[in-house]
Amino acid sequence: MNHCRRFLPLIAAVALLCGCSKNTGVGGEAGDATPSTVASNAAFATRLKLKDPQEFEDAQRGLIARPTGQIRNAQGAVIRDFDAFKFLQGEAPLTVNPSLWRHAILDEQIGLFKVTEHIYQLRGFDNANLTLVEGKTGWIVVDALGNRDSAAAAMAFAAQHLGQKPVSALVLTHSHIDHFGGVLGVLSPQEIAERKIPVVAPAGFMEEATSENILVGIAMGRRSSYQFGKDLEPSAKGLVDVGNGKTTVFGGAYGIVAPNWLIFRPTQEMVLDGVRFVFHNVPGAECPAELTFTIPEMKAYNGAENLAQTMHNLLPIRGAKVRDSFKWASYLDQALEQTEGMEVYFGQHNWPIWGNARIREFVSKQRDVYKYTHDQTVRLINAGYTPREIADTVRLPKSLDEFFATRGYYGDLRANVKAVYQLYIGAYDGNPANLNPLAPQDAAKRYMDAMGGVDKALAIAQSAFDKGDYRWAAELLNHAVFAEPGHAGAKSLLARTYDQLGYAAESALWRNSYLTGAAELRNGPPKKGITKADLLDVLAQTPTERFLEAMAASLDGPVAEGKDIRINLVLTDSKESFVLWLENAVLHFKSGPVDPKANATLTLTKGIFIKMIAGTAGVKDTLLSDDLKIAGSTIDLVRFFALIDKAPGTFPIVTPKS
């Protein structure tokens, strides 16, 4: 019992457990579109050729079967309802930008499709597409969707309509989880090993796939719920799309397998199950590790995610490393040569394009939207303009602005120019007033004092709202809410303001963010935070060093100041050992033999260590396990791990953190 009491704090300290937040919202439901929003959306409808039938024909072309019903995870929870978006019919409602409504209808053309002879796609089972290329003995699968349950459902649906065939090869185009997370619904590591199945990926795939979400995964996951509208109900006042697909499936299990063939040269040919692929390595644009390919005999080109039926983002609003638009455009310039003679383009998001002339127009305009954004931003940087000024200045030329595949359904031009600015000279705009600005809550209180209080600010914001000046209303009300988080009137009007900004947004991600912000003002932050419990199969492939780097980045520095503790970590199954120590309130580690002078030694399997990291380690894994031992000072071990912050992933975004 004494052992139990002293070890439980260790588990609590290491595990990244979910937390709860108090509901501090104002209640109520989303409002209707105001006359200003109605007028804004009506103007959109007149600017663009929304009735052009070509893309509707493309999105439905080759349909074999459409799924119905639901996908459930292992616990029985619904993670994808194929009937959820049936409301996407007819003219755009007043609460949805008509251009986004059109795009949402196109993304709702889901099911199993024949792209061309020997190539099929499953679209709408998850955010990304799962592609099947028919080889001599089975299916060559291109990307595996985002989680095991959606991928398994897609493969079962394909088998139902195309017949049972083994998987003969797997191609993973890049290291974002919506393209590899469902791999265990397609293949098992045992099957790959036993049948010697080729798994092809770009160089750097495993490093990027297992590191992207480790260091800042809690914050990135919390923010992704805004981007993808995770908690929004599908409706004309809620979720309609995510821009590069119908919806992102949350709630399934995620996995990964290590590739056994890497594409590291600029161009690299391979024959997979009798089919000749010409791969192109394109790192550092849409993704740090990515490949595209052609299948010459089928006259088919796959653009992975460098190409989609939307402007992409150069800096995702969920947070990520900024992307290089110049490099992106250069890869698409190369793609113009690679698509010579190709008769079908198919990507890992949205729908295909047929005909060489149309493919080349698509690629060239995608190239030019990134190059134009880059060049015009750089021009204005050198003219002394700041990010916000550039975002309000740059407009696409008519030839790009009226081309639907370069419109901002997923990315957004205003956000992208800020990303170009950040890539080259950082986020600081050069104005000394912005060198050391006040923290948001402190600044908000002083603004409200200067204006005579929140009630006076609220009256000004109400006037702006009534005039349809929602950007100003949002800026003012954000200060009011941060100054007085309990002010129901300010929160209510800010929520209504976010409603209108969301209803008018052409970007699905901006709409989702505004509407999620409005919902959280009304109902409070989520009760459950980000958990790594569903990522055990991914974490198992993650190098131990990445976990230790994340631990170091979670050290509570002020509390650790002056402390001198040294810990040995021994992982028996992976035959690794590390020494961890505190120095100058920094957590350091190095691989090597145990230090006999360490305060304590923790010996366990990597499997148990991962479960502790994921917060799923139970009594059998710890107290009752022969695979976990503590030598030396248990008190020092507990003191050491107590210094590691446990971020619950429920932090507020549209209200202050305290």
Write down all domains in the chain, each with its CATH number in brackets.
2-20+531-642 (3.30.1050.10), 52-425 (3.60.15.30), 438-523 (1.25.40.880)
Average pLDDT over residues 248-272: 95
Instruction: Indicate the range of 42-46, 58-62, 348-352 predicted with least confidence.
Output: 42-46
> Do 315 and 359 meet the contact criterion of CB atoms below 8 Å apart?
no
* Predicted pLDDT of residue 25: 61
Q: What is the pLDDT of residue 480?
A: 98
Write down the H helix ranges in 141-213: 148-162, 177-180, 189-195, 205-211
CA 490, 491, 492, 498 dihedral sign is positive
Q: Give residue 26's pLDDT.
A: 73
Q: Could you give the CA distance from residue 170 to residue 502 in angstroms, rounded to a whole number? A: 39
What is the arithmetic mean of pLDDT over 513-529? 93
CA–CA dist 95, 88 (Å, integer): 13
What residues contact 260, with CB distance under 8 A and at least 6 apart? Answer: 192, 198, 199
What is the band of 4 on the pLDDT scale with cuts at 50, 70, 90? very low
Weakest mean pLDDT among 278-287, 317-326, 378-387, 611-620: 611-620
Taking the C-alpha atoms of residue 29 and residue 6, their distance in angstroms, rounded to an integer, is: 48
Q: What is the pLDDT of residues 263-278, one digit of tens each?
A: 999 999 999 999 999 9
Q: Residue 473 in contact with residue 464, Cβ under 8 Å?
A: yes
Q: Could you please report the per-residue DSSP string of 452-468?
A: T-HHHHHHHHHHHHHHT
Q: Are 154 and 145 in contact (CB under 8 A)?
A: yes
Q: What is the mean pLDDT of residues 15-31?
A: 51
Q: List the Cα angle 429/435/438 in 5-degree steps.
A: 115
Specify the pLDDT at position 9: 33
Residues 6+ apart with CB under 8 A from 356: 339, 340, 341, 342, 343
Count of other CB atoms within 10 angstroms of residue 392: 11
Q: What is the pLDDT of residues 71-97, one digit of tens each?
A: 999 999 999 999 999 999 999 999 999
For position 647, what pLDDT does the model report? 80
Specify the residue for token string 């010996």: 603
* Residue 282 predicted with pLDDT over 60: yes
Q: Which of 105-119, 201-215, 291-305, 564-578 has the lowest mean pLDDT?
A: 201-215
pLDDT of the residue at 16: 29
Residue 8: band (very low, low, confident or very high) from pLDDT cuts 50, 70, 90 = very low
Q: Helical H runs in 34-147?
A: 35-47, 54-60, 98-107
* % of the chain at pLDDT higher than 90: 84
What is the pLDDT of the chain when averaged over all its residues?
A: 93
pLDDT of residue 260 exceeding 50, the answer is: yes
pLDDT at residue 541, rounded to an integer: 85
DSSP, collapsed to helix, strand or coil, labels residue 331 as helix
Over the stretch 376-411, which tens digit does the pLDDT of each residue have? Answer: 999 999 999 999 999 999 999 999 999 999 999 999
How many Cβ atoms from other residues are within 10 Å of residue 199's Cβ? 21
Which DSSP category does 491 fall into?
H
Share in percent of the chain as helix, strand, coil (round to 5):
40, 15, 45
Q: What is the C-alpha to C-alpha distance for residues 230 and 653, in angstroms, rounded to an integer?
A: 15
Q: Is the pLDDT of residue 3 over 70?
A: no
Determine the pLDDT at residue 30. 83
| Confidence class for position 22, pLDDT limits 50, 70, 90 | very low
Residue with tokens 């009506």: 42
Q: How far is CA 279 from CA 268, 291, 292, in A?
A: 5, 7, 6
Residue 484: closest CA among 345, 655, 318: 655
